[in-house]
Amino acid sequence: MVLGNLTIQRLLQKMREVQASDLHLKAGVAPIYRIASRLHHTSSGELTANDTEQLLLPIVPEQLRHQLDQAGGVDFSHHLDGGERFRFNVFRSGGALHAAIRRVNPQIPDFNQLHLPRVYEQFTTTAHDGIIVVCGVTGSGKSSTLAAMIDHINQHRQCNIVTIEDPVEYAFRPKLSYFSQREIGIDVPDFPTALRSALRQDPDVIMIGELRDRETVLAGIQAAETGHLVLVTLHTADTMQAFNRMLEFFDAKEHQFIRSSLAASLRAVTAQRLVPSIREGTLRVPATEVLLNNAIVAERIREGRDQDLPSIVAGSVEEGMHDFTSSLHRLVKEGWIDPQVAATYAPNPEALRSRLRGIDVKADLLVSKRRS
């Protein structure tokens, strides 16, 4: 594991020192840190294929070595003696071992620290059964949001909580609730097996790290229908894509059954994307989209009229629902993000610009009144 003065432990400790979110180890280049969304090369010299093998292979859990050889890649978590946690993706590329390593904040953030709207706390507090879906692309903060929801429940309710993750990221400590955190590949072979087992463990809350296949989606919905609260992540860019993404796992003849189940059990679908912040001390803030299930939404889901959902979201602000345009508009208005940057993250930049011009008009009228 030691290559002169370079060890995997020192590389990981350096991540904490420079507040890097990610570390990339690749043959042919020096180690690369991602700091505040920018990549920075170190001055330690290029790594050879032998170097990356010596750095990474000893840290791969013994039970995952075969999977690495057969599948060409594995995911797992690792922690230093001080409790600092990391998510590893180790994979073969060009015959050499490479790794993408994500540093996980040892402190579980709350909704305020994540700059999430108050509606997140509201539906997390009121939902005691059903399914909550957190959507977003890679690196959008889904895991942190899900952890904040779980820890909020932990602080306010007595629950038996089972998490199924690949890999485990945040280590939850019991407050009012109790935890069993199971890691795919370490504690259990796959998500469907873990979910079947979880239902025999008297859970009140089940957290599924990601919906990846038909069996996991079906088991999650069935658990939600039988009185459990199920929190999951889904890899989609917005809330509207969530339904199609879940339906893709099933044959067309099963779609009506899945839609009926979701219409009955769904509590909320959220989506987020991280936007660079202009406030000192805050690197990024989430632009969010929230769909809450009510009688009208349930009817549209059941009937397959997903095209009606965006207008329902946009017109139900008093319930806490909102789309990305409204969220970006609020972030600009409150001074969190730059208007031009906001437009690059907007699904409809012109719609956002129109909203922002409305802000400018109001400001001009206010100044005119004061002068007069």
DSSP per residue over 57-112, as a string? GGGS-GGGHHHHHHHSEEEEEEE-TTS-EEEEEEEEETTEEEEEEEEE-SSPP-TT
Residue pair 66/79 in contact by the 8 Å Cβ criterion: no
Domains 8-104 and 118-351 share a fold: no
Residue 83 vs residues 76, 104, 162, 171: alpha-carbon distances, Å: 16, 10, 21, 9
**CB-based burial of residue 271 (10 Å sphere; 0-12 exposed, 13-18 middle, 19+ buried)?**
buried
Residue 3: what pLDDT? 40
CA distance 180 to 199: 12
Q: Which residues neighbour 203 within 8 Å (Cβ) at sequence distance 6 or greater?
A: 160, 161, 162, 228
* Token pair in block for residue 352: 């956002």
For residue 331, the number of C-alpha atoms closer than 13 Å in the C-beta half-sphere is 35
The helix/strand/coil state of 326 is helix
Please report how many Cα atoms fall inside a 13 Å half-sphere around the Cα of residue 95, on the Cβ side: 4
The token duo for 261 is 């189940």
Q: Which tens digits make up the pLDDT trace of 309-347?
A: 999 998 888 889 999 999 999 999 999 999 999 999 999
Residue range 162-178: mean pLDDT, rounded: 93
Percent of the chain residues past pLDDT 90, beyond the cut? 80
Q: Which DSSP symbol is given to 211?
A: -
Instruction: Assign 266 to helix, strand or coil.
Output: strand
pTM for the structure as a whole: 0.82
Name the amino acid, one letter, at 348: N
Confidence label for 55 from pLDDT (cuts 50, 70 and 90): very high
Q: What is the mean pLDDT of residues 127-143?
A: 94
Per-residue DSSP letter, 253 = G
For residue range 98-113, list pLDDT tens digits in order: 999 999 877 899 999 9
Q: What is the pLDDT of residues 280-305, one digit of tens each?
A: 989 899 999 999 999 999 999 999 99
The terminus-to-terminus CA distance of the chain in angstroms comes to 74
Three-state helix/strand/coil letters over 129-195: CEEEEEECCCCCCHHHHHHHHHHHHHHHCCCEEEEEECCCCCCCCCCCCEEEEEEECCCECCHHHHH
Residue 286 is predicted with a pLDDT of 97
Within 10 A of 253 (CB to CB), how many other CB atoms are there?
7
Q: Which CATH class is domain 8-104?
A: alpha beta
Tell me the pLDDT of the chain averaged across its residues: 91
**DSSP-assigned letters across all residues of 272-283:** EEEEE--STT--
CB 265, CB 131: distance < 8 Å:
yes
Distance separating alpha carbons of residues 166 and 182, to the nearest angstrom: 9
- pLDDT classification of 367: cutoffs 50, 70, 90: very low
Q: Is the pLDDT of residue 22 over 60?
A: yes
* Per-residue confidence (pLDDT) for residue 351, from 0 to 100: 93
pLDDT 10s digits, 242-269? 999 999 999 999 999 999 999 999 999 9
pLDDT at 366: 39
Measured between alpha carbons, how far is 219 from 224 in angstroms, rounded to an integer? 9
Assign residue 99 a region (left: φ > 0; alpha: ψ between -120 and 50; beta: otherwise).
Answer: beta
**Eight-state DSSP code of residue 304:** T
pLDDT of residue 359: 57
CA distance 170 to 132: 19
Domain residue limits, the chain:
8-104, 118-351
CATH number of 118-351: 3.40.50.300
